[in-house]
């Protein structure tokens, strides 16, 4: 497989798939440019070599052309970050895009309009009537899959080589990630620096395990984490369950949880996961106490109580001090750590303490030689909020992609480069 470090981009046009899906305010100002900055090493390497760049990205989830999702809003800032005046093609499929791509000189950059303006990018039909028959749905799907081939072929025609630096979309079989790579031979397609780091970090945490291996899984729903938990039970020594999932596990074991979040239809599943952990010799670590509130609000009345004795009208919004100590001790004794999901409603300052304690324990373990991977939107927001990002081994930019990789799934955007 080709690597970006060894590739010389001199005189070549590179189609670079990035993740510039950045948040914008009502005046179209970028409120967080982390994703743009993450792609800079790859883009600057190509320019330094004497190559030119055609950038493809998504912004939001438009169902057609929409000004608020136009990538034109990021041109000025991207130009400043790169130190190059970025050109823009206002239709990724239009004649303008083809002409501008063909005319690109070494050191020049062309940003294509939002790829998602076209249904072919995702390969899913749009505009179907709500009462469409199965036959109509099948015909529409077939039609968009056919036109997707031409869409992909045209994107590929703009460039001599292909670089995928968008780990955040690697779990989607989109035209610009999984399909376009087929138009480039092995020597002319590669991961960008960010993607390369992501792939290595995930591989290390799943396949190059130094023990004890501890995973901390937060989040509100057991249902959204079943496959991940089941896959991790085959790999970890300790599995810490945190966040809203806590209360489903607590209720399943007969505990009183007040009005805490709970998936009542997943109580049997929680018991089954407890049983599986026991059978596999995994130390399943659950909360023993909680910080509870009488309303879902930062200003609510609060107190601590055993997690299985939450009074009626109260809900658990974070772990309590005894649980903090238990979690921290397990984490500090670990050599490989994966953190996905906070311990509570960390968006409210009064319920950040548990997540901060977990983050600080991970930083301490990392200082003592552990490899730590933090991933998933809320966990990343946590370490950034607490200023801990530099103290962990790796912070993943890919939410859904990271989770699917942890589930053991093959990610189409990665497979397309490795083939």
Active site residue 221: yes
How far is CA 110 from each of CA 72, 97, 178, 383, rounded to the nearest angstrom? Answer: 11, 9, 21, 34
Q: Distance (Å, rounded) from C-alpha 312 to C-alpha 294?
A: 9
- Per DSSP bridges, beta strands 289-293 and 315-319 are antiparallel
Cis peptide before 378 (omega within 30 of 0): no
CA distance 343 to 220: 10
Catalytic site includes residue 400: yes
Q: Are residues 125 and 267 in the same domain?
A: no
What pLDDT, on the 0 to 100 scale, is given for residue 168?
83
CB within 8 Å of 178: residues ≥ 6 apart: 172, 412, 413, 415, 416
16 domain residue, yes or no: yes
408 flagged as catalytic: no
Q: Which range of residues forms the domain containing residue 52? A: 2-190
pLDDT at 378: 83
Catalytic residue selected from 221, 276, 335, 385: 221
Catalytic one among 17, 35, 100, 356? 35
C-beta neighbour count of 271 within 10 angstroms: 13
For the entire predicted model, the pTM comes to 0.83
| Same domain assignment for residues 124 and 147 | yes
**Active-site hit among 107, 255, 377, 391:** 377
Residue 19: predicted pLDDT: 92
Contact between residue 148 and residue 175 where contact means Cβ atoms under 8 Å apart: yes
What are the backbone angles phi and psi of residue 257, rounded to the nearest 5°? Answer: -120, 10
User: Which residue, 136, 164, 190, sits at the end of a domain?
Assistant: 190
Q: What is residue 225's predicted lDDT score, i.e. its pLDDT? A: 85
Task: Say yes or no: 173 and 70 in one domain.
Answer: yes
Are both 264 and 142 inside the same structural domain? no
396 marked as binding residue? no
- Does 59 count as an annotated binding residue? yes
Number of structural domains in the chain: 2
> What are the mean pLDDT values of the chain's consecutive 10-residue runs (419 residues total)?
95 97 92 90 98 97 94 97 97 97 98 97 92 91 95 98 93 94 96 93 86 92 85 94 95 97 95 97 98 97 98 98 98 96 94 97 98 85 91 86 82 91
Determine the pLDDT at residue 397.
75
Q: Does residue 343 come out as left (phi exceeding 0), alpha (psi in the -120 to 50 range) or beta?
A: alpha
Q: What is the pLDDT of residue 288?
A: 98
Q: 193-207 and 399-406 helices cross at what angle (nearest 10)? A: 30
The reply to whether 287 and 386 lie within a common domain is: yes
Same domain, 270 and 325: yes
327 in a labelled binding site: no
Helix intervals (H) in 306-411 = 321-332, 353-367, 377-385, 399-406
Look at residues 136, 158, 190 and tell me which one is the last residue of a structural domain: 190
What pLDDT is recorded for position 377?
Answer: 60
What is the model's pLDDT at position 219? 82
């Amino acid at each position: 497989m080709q690597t970006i470090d060894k590739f010389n981009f001199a005189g070549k046009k590179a189609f670079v798939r990035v993740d510039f899906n950045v948040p914008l305010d009502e005046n179209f100002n970028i409120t967080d440019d982390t994703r743009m900055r993450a792609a800079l090493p790859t883009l600057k390497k190509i320019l330094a070599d004497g190559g030119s760049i055609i950038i493809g990205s998504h912004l939001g989830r438009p169902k057609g052309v929409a000004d608020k999702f136009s990538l034109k809003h990021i041109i000025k800032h991207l130009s400043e970050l790169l130190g190059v005046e970025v050109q823009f093609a206002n239709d990724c499929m239009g004649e303008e895009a083809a002409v501008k791509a063909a005319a690109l000189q070494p050191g020049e950059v062309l940003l294509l309009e939002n790829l998602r303006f076209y249904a072919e990018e995702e390969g899913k039909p749009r505009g179907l009537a709500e009462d469409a028959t199965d036959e109509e749905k099948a015909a529409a799907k077939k039609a968009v899959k056919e036109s997707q081939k031409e869409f992909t072929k045209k994107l590929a025609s703009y460039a001599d080589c292909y670089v995928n630096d968008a780990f955040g979309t690697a779990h989607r079989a989109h035209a610009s990630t999984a399909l376009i790579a087929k138009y480039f031979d092995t020597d002319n397609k590669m991961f960008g620096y960010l993607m390369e780091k992501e792939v290595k970090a995930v591989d290390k945490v799943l396949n190059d395990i130094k023990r004890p291996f501890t995973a901390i899984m937060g989040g509100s729903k057991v249902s959204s984490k079943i496959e991940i938990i089941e896959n991790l039970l085959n790999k970890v020594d300790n599995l810490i369950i945190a966040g809203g999932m806590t209360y489903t596990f607590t209720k399943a074991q007969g505990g009183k949880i007040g009005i805490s979040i709970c998936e009542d239809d997943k109580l049997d599943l929680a018991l089954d996961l407890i049983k599986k952990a026991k059978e596999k010799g995994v130390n399943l670590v659950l909360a023993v106490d909680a910080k509870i509130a009488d309303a879902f609000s930062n200003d609510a009345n609060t107190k601590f109580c055993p997690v299985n004795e939450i009074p009626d009208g109260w809900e658990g919004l974070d772990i309590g001090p005894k649980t903090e100590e238990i979690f921290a001790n397990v984490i500090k004794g670990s050599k490989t750590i994966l953190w996905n999901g906070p311990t509570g409603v960390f968006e409210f300052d009064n319920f950040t303490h548990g997540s901060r304690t977990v983050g600080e324990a991970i930083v301490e373990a990392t200082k003592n030689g552990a490899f730590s991977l933090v991933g998933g939107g809320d966990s990343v927001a946590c370490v950034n909020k607490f200023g801990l990002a530099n103290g962990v081994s790796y912070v993943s930019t890919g939410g859904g992609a990271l989770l699917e990789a942890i589930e053991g799934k093959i990610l189409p955007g990665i497979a397309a480069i490795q083939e």
